[in-house]
Structure 1
Amino acid sequence: MPFCIDRHAISRCTLAAAALAASQIARAEAPVPQHGQSGSVTSGKDGEIVVTTTAQKRFENIQSVPLPVQVVTPAQLELQGVHHFQELDRVMPSLVVRPAEHPVNTNVSIRGVGTFAYAVAVESSVAVTVDGAPVAFLARANTDLPDVAQIEVLRGPQSTLYGKAASAGLIKIMTVQPTDDLHIRANARLTGDHEFAETLSITGPLTDRLGYVFSGGYTHWDGNVTNLVTSKHVGGHDTLSSRAKLRWKVNPALTFTLSGNYLTGSTSVGRPFVHMAPEARLRGVDSERADVVLPGVRVGPTNRAVTYNSPAGTTYHGGGGLLRTDVALGKITLLGLTSVDRFRLDNFLDFDDTASTAPTGYVVERGTFHSQLFTQEVRLLSPDDAPFRYALGLYYADAAFERPATRGPGFALSDYHFTAGSRQIAGFGQIDWAFAPRLTATVGGRLQNERVAYTFTDRLAARRHPAATTSWAGAASDDAATYRLGLDYRATPDLMLFASYATGYKGQAYDLSTGFDQARADAGPIRPERSRDKEIGIRSLWLDRHLTANLTFFNTHYRDMQAQTIEFLPGGTYINRMTNVGRLLTRGIEIETAARPSGAVTLTANAAYLRAHYLSFPGAPCYPLQSPALGCTGNPLRQDLSGERVPQAPSWRLNASADYSPALGHDRRGVMQIAWQYQSAMQFAARDPELFQRGYHIVNVDLGVRDRQHRWQAVAFLNNVFDQQHYTALVNVANNFGRHSATEALLPRDFRRYGGIRVGVDF
């Protein structure tokens, strides 16, 4: 979502919790502030830093927004070593990103709530937008971040203003916008473990009415896992991305901004075994011992070797366009956003994760994901400083997906082709009324209709049983309403209290994945997921506005939660599928603080304490090796997770940073930065002892020199200083090894300590 700063209000605005470290880079992204255009983070009086957010689809100082929103800038991302979407949780305590063997299966959760699904038609509970336009599915956003100007994370249900796929939260990525003066920004990064990255952004005017942006980036990283079969590194990626924008100020009342983007790249996959029982045999075959199928691998917690005899990874490419239209109708602004996007991802996987060539053990998976998306949004905005403010809008979206895939020949055979589509029409609005000098009431609502449709063909079954039914098709429609109520009280110019109640909604969807059959077709779509959220918050400033302290208490209840489970059908049959499994409660506290004791020192600290539990989940699938004594009972076997802690929801997540830039003379300043992040222990799957991640902390250190005006810098960095091993995902594959313990891990970028240098120019 584009954004702006009202410079006339800078002297009244305050230091923002999420953005104190951003002054190094903000000037290049901040055009002349006009309503409906873009802005960013800038310094105010006495070194204060002012941040705006578009959390409520208008341009507001973050300290005046009665919502739990965190703003992150490129400087903060760089300090925490974040260069990829799946690393964003390092700087956002309430966000957890669990990557998978390819981006489509990535699970993003906020406050412990997300959606893990093998079916692409089931959307995540966390939505993602880029410059205000939604992405078709998470894989489209799961890439490098080369031209980011600012990222906002809205926590809790955001369905009223942002639609069905934001029942748990929203990640808003804003990219560099055209400027009225020429700006060139270039950065390069080189590490000791074979990573090279470079980015370039050029913004400026072509004429007094035309402005432009050209930005691009390239990243190569070998990876931190070795495939002993090929003697090559895996787990890395190559990414080439580009974006161009043209802004045309037709007259003072009309502005068009046209942008286009293109992305291409590849990834390689490596999931090392970190635990395996001595008795484990691939597919239970005596001859398929670990020393045979994993030759040269030393299985253990620090293992970084695999033995894949088939390629594993992805290739992808895609592009899209966005037309933004700003029309000034007196004091009212009419905004239009029209977007199109096409994306293709090909995945190939050594499904058995070994070097086995035995007929019963060798399995390769290959498939393709296609997506197309068209959206149109029209928004009517009142003046930002009016006592009665409103944002009214209409939204239309048409999405289509296609997925052919095969797997075999040893086991887990499949060959299917499906298509899925959705069409959504919605009207939304929010009114903020300052009905008293210090009190503002908020009322918002959204009405929408969505139609989903699918086709599915089991090509393997068609070959085996030509006379049987092997193709299905269906469609369903649903109407939904969500709303938001809020009240905020400005006790003093530096202290605001707020309370809100909001409902969330994630639409129905078909579970299209391996195993789809007549029973699943007859069951119809998964019911919508709904949520109710209560929040109380404080936005405060202290010590002559050099200290910011923001606090949010939240309690969110989810009903008809969409999750993977066992579903019982009439007649006593059952299927494993995505379905509505019950209720979930997540509650906790979020804290953001920042301080600038002097012009050379900046301090930040953020924390999230979370308690997320299933209230009702009686038909949950058992984990591998779970016995009746451990709660796995019935026919079919199942467990009751009611009262259990939700996976991927650690109790504590914290991060902090310190930035000291002493004067060195000759218009130079030092760069001395330290960043710390901590995560307490958590489970990747409920109760499974094999999928337990211990608590860990990561420290990053930067040391360098820069120009006083931020026109250039050179920095040496060391990430994960204390070499803390941890995992981004653990996978229990005991069922593939004769029901003996076998656990794989996905390793993060900073699984081991690494260092490098980065240089940049900005003028």
Structure 2
Amino acid sequence: MTTQPTDQLHIRANARITGDHEFAEQLSVTGPLTDTLGFVFSGGYTHWDGNARNLDNGKRANGRETLNSRAKLRWKASPGLTFTLSGNYLTGNSTAARPFVAMSPDARLRGDPALTSAVVLPGVVIGPDNQNVAYNARSGTQYHGGGGLLRTELSLGTLNLLSLTSYDRFKLDDYFDYDDTAARKRVGNAREIGTFRSRLFSQEVRLLSPDDAAFRYALGVYYANTGFERPFDRGPGFALSNLYATAGSRQIAGFGQIDWEFVPHLTATAGGRIQNERVDYTYANRLLARRDPTAKSYFAGHDSDNVFTYRLGLDYQATRDLMLFGSYATGYKGQAYDLSTGFDQKRADSGPIRPERSRDKEIGVRSQWFDRHVTFNLTFFNTHYRDLQAQTIETFPDGTFINRLTNVGRLVTRGIEVESSVRPTDDVTLTGNATYLRANYVSFPSAPCYALQSEALGCTGNPRRQNLSGERLPQAPTWRINAIADYSPALDDQRRGVIQVAWQYQGALYYAPRDPQVLQNAYHIVNVNLGVRDQAHRWEAVAFLDNVFDQRHYSAMVNVASNFDNRVATVAMLPRDYRRYGGLRVGLNF
């Protein structure tokens, strides 16, 4: 569905440079090779040093470097037969940083009296504005991967046959200083090293009816085979782990959808999908095998499931510019095995986690007014999940228990989405979007407690647990709002100005349920663009300033008190716009 070859040579290039050491460029070339063969090539490179600094080695962190490329050949072999072959390749690396934003003065790494914050975090000033870390182990990722897709389109009279064949491979090496410090003492020194490898093959065939008929349909079959490998090692000081796990999935599905305009302007939709999915795994606890060669350290298993999901809908095109719609759909998230550290015979005997299922209801309106100068869209949604897959405490008949990913209960998300735009003149466009969300656990009686949670704060029982039934889902703010004002005045016959102000608001949220140490307060971001462009969009030069008012916020927060003798200790991940930054963006299009 990416850019298709054009009948004439077309080149587009964009570059971006910022005052905080980011450089990015994108190039796209498309055009014909012959009367029946066209091509597309695009590529890009991005480098950013990051917005944190590792005081242990003096280097910047939390940055990235990425090189990506994509190519496509489209051959019209005959009037009714077209082949499109596309390929992509991606390679890059990143550096990770989680600065400490809070720590109790009496915190000691792993409870060792000698491992104070001054010792393990030399030079780091802990606080909400901290952008420094002290890591003595590599932290980040290195990755590469690619794949290809063959799209075959065959005309069969009034019908169309579509075939999609794809194959992808990806490898990521990940490294992390697990103790978040520069501790040299073995008791406080832990690092993670792992690899993630994946492969995917899929084949899909669709039969499509004409899309301008009152009765339209699509029928198809789908096959996919995926495989994953995960070697992982953590240590040597604490939280030891050494494992090698694999997981596989094979899906076979048939699907279809009918759209029927059974009376003028009123269209009914009915679609369904039936699928069989088989999942399998292997798990080798290499740490246990070294410690006790007689212990059971290797596990393997498989399971399968059949499922039917469907969607029903009704659309009413009241006028050319007003449509009302409603839909009901079911969803399915398949079986899975929790292959994390701690996998043992009990977890193996428990089998796969049951599928997660959902029921989604939507009603809304899509409309345009005043000769399409005003657009207003409104959607009400309500989704109910059952057999929610999440981390919980599982107790066995013999009284023992483990923490594992399993089915925990039910969840409901409901809310309203509003999308609007106003174009009072050809030079001015105003847009605004807002989402009001209520997302709550309906049933989650045995959730793990957060670090430092006391009995008075709801952590009770044996094993210790909290009841999150009725609580708000983490990372789900009540409000998200954004608005953009765009003014493009004519400067002369050839040029226009570019003036744009964008405002984003996000309400408060918890990154883990109820945990006050990982509460992100509400914040707003203002971005400004000023520049000039060609009347026909052939070139553009824009200066920009993001996060104009320097609003500090985090993309994630983690309570790591358990690593610091159960004293307050919180780390945060810094987003790209954590601090105000600016730069220049230029583009060519011809």
Match of 1:459 among 281, 286, 294: 286
Alignment deviations for residues 367-414 of structure 1 (CA, whole Å, 9 cap, x no partner): 100000001111111111111111211110000000001111000001
The amino acid of 2:245's aligned partner reads F
Partner SS for 1:664:
coil
Q: Tell me the distance in 1 between the aligned counterparts of 2:460 and 2:495.
A: 68
Deviation of 1:600 after TM superposition, in Å, equals 1.5
User: Given the alignment of the two structures, is residue 535 of structure 1 paired with residue 362 of structure 2, yes or no?
Assistant: yes
Alignment deviations for residues 520-569 of structure 1 (CA, whole Å, 9 cap, x no partner): 11111000000011111101111111111110001111000001111122
What residue is the counterpart of 2:161 in the other structure?
Answer: 334
Q: How does 1:674-693 map to 2 (within 5 A)?
A: 674-693=501-520
Match of 1:586 among 408, 413, 420: 413
What residue is the counterpart of 1:418 in the other structure?
Answer: 245
User: Given the alignment of the two structures, is residue 305 of structure 1 paired with residue 165 of structure 2, yes or no?
Assistant: no
User: Given the alignment of the two structures, is residue 619 of structure 1 paired with residue 446 of structure 2, yes or no?
Assistant: yes
What residue is the counterpart of 1:363 in the other structure?
Answer: 190
Q: Which moved more, 1:371-380 or 1:590-599?
A: 590-599
Deviation of 1:493 after TM superposition, in Å, equals 1.7
What residue is the counterpart of 1:23 in the other structure?
Answer: none
Q: How does 1:461-540 map to 2 (within 5 A)?
A: 461-540=288-367
Q: Tell me the distance in 1 between the aligned counterparts of 2:254 and 2:572.
A: 44
User: Given the alignment of the two structures, is residue 271 of structure 1 paired with residue 98 of structure 2, yes or no?
Assistant: yes
Partner SS for 1:460:
helix
What residue is the counterpart of 2:482 in the other structure?
Answer: 655
Q: Tell me the distance in 2 between the aligned counterparts of 1:597 and 1:339.
A: 46
Q: How does 1:345-744 map to 2 (within 5 A)?
A: 345-744=172-571
What residue is the counterpart of 2:65 in the other structure?
Answer: 238
Partner SS for 2:314:
strand
Alignment deviations for residues 33-84 of structure 1 (CA, whole Å, 9 cap, x no partner): xxxxxxxxxxxxxxxxxxxxxxxxxxxxxxxxxxxxxxxxxxxxxxxxxxxx
Q: Tell me the distance in 2 between the aligned counterparts of 1:178 and 1:735.
A: 56
Match of 1:193 among 20, 36, 43: 20
Task: Give aligned pairs, total.
Answer: 590
Q: Tell me the distance in 1 between the aligned counterparts of 2:215 and 2:332.
A: 27
% of aligned pairs identical?
Answer: 70
Under a length normalisation based on structure 2, what TM-score does the superposition of the two structures give? Answer: 0.99
Match of 1:219 among 27, 34, 46: 46
The amino acid of 1:374's aligned partner reads F
User: Given the alignment of the two structures, is residue 281 of structure 1 paired with residue 101 of structure 2, yes or no?
Assistant: no
The amino acid of 1:188's aligned partner reads A
Match of 1:293 among 120, 127, 132: 120
Q: Tell me the distance in 1 between the aligned counterparts of 2:157 and 2:504.
A: 48
The amino acid of 2:180's aligned partner reads D
Q: Tell me the distance in 2 between the aligned counterparts of 1:398 and 1:587.
A: 34
Q: Tell me the distance in 1 between the aligned counterparts of 2:68 and 2:95.
A: 18
Alignment deviations for residues 75-101 of structure 1 (CA, whole Å, 9 cap, x no partner): xxxxxxxxxxxxxxxxxxxxxxxxxxx
Partner SS for 2:187:
coil
Partner SS for 2:550:
coil
Alignment deviations for residues 398-445 of structure 1 (CA, whole Å, 9 cap, x no partner): 000000011110000010001110000001111110000121111111
Q: Tell me the distance in 1 between the aligned counterparts of 2:383 and 2:329.
A: 9
Deviation of 1:278 after TM superposition, in Å, equals 0.8
Deviation of 1:514 after TM superposition, in Å, equals 0.7
Alignment deviations for residues 6-27 of structure 1 (CA, whole Å, 9 cap, x no partner): xxxxxxxxxxxxxxxxxxxxxx
Q: Tell me the distance in 2 between the aligned counterparts of 1:722 and 1:328.
A: 56
User: Given the alignment of the two structures, is residue 325 of structure 1 paired with residue 143 of structure 2, yes or no?
Assistant: no
Q: Tell me the distance in 2 between the aligned counterparts of 1:700 and 1:540.
A: 29
The amino acid of 1:586's aligned partner reads T
Alignment deviations for residues 261-297 of structure 1 (CA, whole Å, 9 cap, x no partner): 1110000001000000111110011111111111111
Deviation of 1:743 after TM superposition, in Å, equals 0.3
Alignment deviations for residues 557-587 of structure 1 (CA, whole Å, 9 cap, x no partner): 1000001111122222211111000000110
RMSD: 0.8
The amino acid of 1:605's aligned partner reads G
Deviation of 1:596 after TM superposition, in Å, equals 1.9
Q: Tell me the distance in 2 between the aligned counterparts of 1:631 and 1:613.
A: 17
Alignment deviations for residues 629-685 of structure 1 (CA, whole Å, 9 cap, x no partner): 111011110010000000011000011112111111140111111111110001111
Q: Tell me the distance in 2 between the aligned counterparts of 1:684 and 1:255.
A: 49
Alignment deviations for residues 187-209 of structure 1 (CA, whole Å, 9 cap, x no partner): 11000000001110000000110
Partner SS for 2:445:
coil
User: Given the alignment of the two structures, is residue 203 of structure 1 paired with residue 20 of structure 2, yes or no?
Assistant: no
Deviation of 1:595 after TM superposition, in Å, equals 2.1
Partner SS for 1:572:
coil
Runs of 4+ in 1 over 4 A off after TM superposition: none
Q: Tell me the distance in 1 between the aligned counterparts of 2:118 and 2:67.
A: 39
Under a length normalisation based on structure 1, what TM-score does the superposition of the two structures give? Answer: 0.77
Deviation of 1:622 after TM superposition, in Å, equals 0.2
Partner SS for 2:289:
helix
Q: Tell me the distance in 2 between the aligned counterparts of 1:395 and 1:547.
A: 41
- Structure 1 unmatched runs, 5+: 3-174
Q: Tell me the distance in 1 between the aligned counterparts of 2:582 and 2:551.
A: 14
Q: Tell me the distance in 1 between the aligned counterparts of 2:396 and 2:9.
A: 64
The amino acid of 1:403's aligned partner reads R
What residue is the counterpart of 1:162 in the other structure?
Answer: none
Q: Tell me the distance in 1 between the aligned counterparts of 2:558 and 2:21.
A: 27
Partner SS for 2:491:
strand
Q: Tell me the distance in 1 between the aligned counterparts of 2:238 and 2:370.
A: 66
Q: Tell me the distance in 1 between the aligned counterparts of 2:400 and 2:13.
A: 60
Q: Tell me the distance in 1 between the aligned counterparts of 2:34 and 2:424.
A: 43
The structure richer in strand per residue is 2
- Structure 2 unmatched runs, 5+: none
The amino acid of 2:61's aligned partner reads V
Q: Tell me the distance in 2 between the aligned counterparts of 1:477 and 1:570.
A: 26
What residue is the counterpart of 1:316 in the other structure?
Answer: 143
Q: Which moved more, 1:299-308 or 1:662-671?
A: 662-671
